[in-house]
Structure 1
Amino acid sequence: MELFRYPLLLAGLAGAFAALVFFRFRAEASRLAAARAVLGPAFERLAAGPEAARRRLRGLLYFIALALLAFAAAGPQWGAELAPVTDLKGNIVIAVDASLSMAARDLKPDRLSNARLLLGAISEKFADYRIGVVAFAGQAYVQCPLTTDQDAITYFASALRPGMMPEQGTDFSEAVETVLTMLSRYGGQKVMVLITDGEDHSSGLDTALKAAVEQNLKIYTIGIGNPDGDLVPMTDSAGNTMEYKKDKQGKTVVSRLDEPTLMKIASRTGAAYQRYTDPDSAAEAVRSAVAALDLEKSKGKGRSAYKNRYQWPLAAALLLLLIELLIMEKGFSFNKPSFRLPKFFKGAAALLLALAAAAQAAGPSKDARRGNAAYEGKDWQSAVEHYSRAAARNPADKRLTFNVGDAYYRLEDYEKAAESFEQASAGPKVAARAHYNRGNALFRKGDLAGAIAAYRQTLDLEPGDSNAKFNLQKALEQKQKNSCDKNKDNKENKDNKKDQDKKDQGDKDKEKKEDGGGEAKQDEKGKEKEKQKEQEKKKTEAQARSRQILEMMKEKEKAAARDPENMRQAARQAGKPEPQNRLEDW
C-alpha cells in the first residue's frame, strides 16, 4: 500500500519545510542573543512573560499548519474502493473517399457532404467504441487516430473536402492497407467502414483484400451516389463552379456509383454492403451489423483504488491557522480594543464578501443545471423558466439566452424562440448557431424571408455549414413555390370573374329578348340553378374534407415535434429544415 499518492512531492515539501524550520530557529536564536546582550538581567524577566509565551505558541501553530498543508498536498490515502472496469476489445476505422468524384451533386448538396453527415451519425451510434478516420484518394492518410473523443472526430470530419488529397484518383488498396496498419496494435475484432462512390482505379485491390481476410478485418461498404451518375464540378476557393471535369480526350466525366465493386469487397471480408439513403438509417444498419459480430466486452470485477484523504489534514491546517489568527500577543484589552481586534474583523469581512460573491456566481450555474435536467426530461416549460432565471442573473452569457430559445422551440412557440435566438446572436461564441436556429424558427412560423436572412447570416459566420446551406435552399424553393401558387390563384380569380361577367351579360341579353316568359324557358332556368347549387355543395364538401386532412397533418406534426428524434426524422422526410439541438452544458 502506498501511503501517499505523490511521494516525490512529499519528499520535496519535506525538504523545504526542514530548511524553513532550520533558518527560522537560527534567526530566532540570533534575535534572542542580541536581546540578551542589550537588555541584560531584564531579558529573563521579559522572556518569561505571557506575551512571549503567546508568541511562541503562535509560531508553533503556524509551523504545524504548514506541515499539515504539505501533508495534504502529497495526497495521503488509505482505505481501498473498487472501481468498475469496462474493456471493449473492438475498434472501428471509417475510411472516407475524398477524391474529386465525391463533389458530384446527385445527392444534395454533394456526395462528400452526405459522407460527413454519415460519419458523424456513425460516431454517435458507436460512442462506446474506439473510432478512427482515414481519408483517401490516390493515397490514404490518417485523418484522426483511434479515439473515443467525439469532439475530435467531429472536428477532423469537418475538414474533409473533395480533392483535398495531394494525389487524386481512388485507390481502395491504399485505404485498406492504412487501416490494417492502424489496427495492427490492437486485439479483438477489427472493423472498417468504407464510405465511397465505388470507382476504384487501383490494381492491388485483390492483394489488399487477401491481407484483410488474413487479419480478420471486416469491411462494411456504403455506396454514396447514383448508378446513373452525375457530372463532377470543378470549383474555386469560394465554392463557385468553374467547369466540369474532363478526361484526357476532353470528354466530360460522368461519375457513377459502382455497386458491384463494393459488394465484392464486403462479401470477400464477410461483411455487408448498403446503399446510402440518409445518415441515421445507414448508421443504424452498420451498428446492427457490427453488433451481430458479438464483439467481446468484458466487465471485470473491478480494480482497487485507494481513497485520497487530503481533506482531513487540510481541514486541520485551516483550523490551526484560524486559531493562530485569534491568539493575540498582548491579549485582549478593553481599554485599547483597536490593536488586534479590527484586523480580525477586516479579515472576517473580506472572507464573508468572498463567500457572498461565490454564492452569487454559483446562482446562474445552478439554474442552468436545473434547466439542463428539465430539458433532458423533456419538461420544456420548466426548462424555459430555469434558463430564463439564469439568463436574468447573468445577461452577458448568451449561451443561457440560446437555451431559452431552444426550449421555446420545443414548445412550438416559434415567435419567442426567434426572439431569444436573435438576442443570443450577440454572443460571438453562439452567434452562428443562434442565427441557424432562428432561421428554423422563422421557417416554422412561416416567415420565409426572415428565415432566408437568418440562414445567410449563419453562412456569413460559418461558410462551411452544410446544414445551413441545405435549409437555405429549401427556404428559397418554398418561397418560389408560394409565389407561383399565389400568381396561379390570382389568375384563376381573374378568369372566374371574367366568366361570371360574361354569364351575367348573357342573362341580361336573354331577358331583353324574351317576352312574357314561356314555361319551358323557366323550367330550363330552374334546372340550371339547381345544377349550380349542387356544384357549390360538392365544392363546399371538398373544401371541408381538405381542411380536415390539413388539421390531421398539423396534429401529427405537433405530436412528432414533442419528441426531438421524431421531429428530426419527420423533417428529413418532408424536406424541411432540421432543428439543431445545441444545448450548452454547465
Structure 2
Amino acid sequence: MSADFHFLRPQVLWALLPTVALYVLLSRRSDPRRRWGRMIAPHLLDHLTVRPGGGWRIRPIHQVTAVATLASVAAAGPTWEREVSPFAEDTAPLVIALDLSQSMDAIDVQPTRLERAKQKVRDLLALRPGARTALIAYAGSAHTVLPMSTDVTMFETFLDGLSTSIMPAPGKDPVAALSLADSILARDSVPGSILYITDGIGADRVDAFVEHEARSPDAVLVLAIGTSEGGPIRTGANEFATNEAGGRIVATLDRDGLDALTASTSAFVAGSTVDARDVERLQRRIQSNLRQVQQDDPTARWKDAGYYLMIPIVLLALLWFRKGWTVRWSAVALVLALAGCSGAGSESEVRFLNLWLTPDQQGRRLYEAGRYEAAAARFADPAWRAVAHYRAGAYSEAIDAWALADTPDGAFGTGNALARLGDYPAAVDAYDRALAARPGWREAEENRDYVRSLIPPPPEEDPDLPEAAPPPTFEADSVDFGNEEQRGERGEVPQELLSDEQLAEIWLRRLQTSPSEFLRRRFLIEQARRTGDEGAR
C-alpha cells in the first residue's frame, strides 16, 4: 500500500501554502504582545495583559486550518489501490484437482479421505453460486472430469461416480494435473486458482510448482486431507491393502512435501476441518488472489480515496455551531438544508444527499451496495448508467444508455447486452466497432468469436433444383408411402465427420452404465491415445 500511495491531482496541494500563511498571519494578530508592543512599555504590558486560564484551547482558527488542510488533501485525490473494472468477473474461476490415487482410500479420515474430499468439493461449490469451476481427477495421469461450468447438478452427478478404481494409471502425478489445469485456465481472460485436494504433493515435484509460479498469475492452493498417524487403505468391504509380508499398508499425510511446497512457493496450504471453516478460508483466498491480480493491472484506474476525508471535514464543520464560534452563515445553511429536506420517504433522502454528493457519486454508492436498478436511476454518466442497467438485467435500457457513450467500452458493452438478448449478428457488429476503435482488445475478440460461433449457418440452396411449385388447392384422395421393399437402406454418418464433442454427446446418450463406468472408459481411451502419441514420437 505505501509503495503505491500517490495523489491523482498533486497540483492541488499548492493550496496548502495560503492555508499555512493565513494561520501564521492570524496567529500573529491574536497575540496581544505583538499588537501592543510598540505602544506600551514591556514592563507595563505584562501587567496589563489578561491571560485566559486553562492553558491552550482550540480556537476557530485551528478548526478552519484543519478543514482547509483536509479539503486540499481530499481534492488532490489520495489513492493507493486500483479500481476494478465493472466488466470484471465477480468470482474467480477455479480448477479443482482431486487426487484419486490409492492412498485416498485410507480411513484415517472417516469414512475415507476421498469421500471427505468429495464433501469438501460440495461445500466449496455451495460458497460459489454461479461461479465457473472445473474439475480434474488425477493419479498417475490427469483427466478432465468437467470443463468450466456453473452447473452444480453436473458436478453432483460426476462426483458420485469418482473413485480410485476408475483411474487408468496408478501413482500420484500432481504435475500432470498442474499442466492440465493451466491449459483450462489459459482459455480464460480472468486469472484463476488451482485447488489441489490431496494427501500429498511430493517434495520431488516442488520444482514444477516453482516454475509455474514464475510464469503464471494463477494461484495454487492445497487442501490437505489426512492425518500424520495415517490409516489403512480400504480396497473393499472389510478389505485393506497389504504388503508382501501380509501387513496392512498405512498411508500417512505427506507433511514433508507440503512443507517443501510452502517453503519454496507462495502456495496456500490448509488442513481439512470437520466443519466448513477450511473451505471458507480457501474461498476467501481464491477471491483475494483475483483482487490482487486485478490491482496489478496497469490499465485499471486508480480509486480516488479523497471522498473518505469528507467525514472528518463534516465533523469539524459541526463545531462551527458552538456558541462563540460565529460563522453565522453556517446556521443559515443548516436551516435551508433542513427546510429543503422536509418531506418523507426517499424524496427527502435524495434531497439531503444532493447537498453532499453528485448524482454519479450517489449512483456509485448504490452500485457498490448491489442496488443496480436504483443506481441506474441516479447515474448521470451514461456509461455508468448503462453498466448499472446491464447488472440489473435490463439489457435494452443498457443498450440505449451505451448509445449515448460513443466509446470502445460502450460498443463492447452494447455487444454484451445484444448477446444476452440473443441478437448475435448485431452483437458481432458491436464487437467489430469496439475493435476498430481499440485494435487488439483480447476480451472483445474472444467475445466476438464466441458469439459468432452461436450464429447458425444459413441453409444452402442448390441452384440446379427447380423452384418449388405452389401447394395444391385440393386434398389428395389417398396417401401411399410406397412399397416397404423399395425403401432405401438405412445408413450411418461416418464418425470422422463428427467432432470429439459430438461423438462424446452421442456416446453419453447411448451409454446405459453409471457415470463411474463412463469416466473409467473415457479416461482409459484418453490414456491410450496419449501413450500411443508418445510411442509414435
Which band: TM-score by shorter chain? 0.3 to 0.5
- Please give the TM-score of this superposition, normalised by the length of structure 2: 0.38
Larger radius of gyration: 1
TM-score by length of 1: 0.35
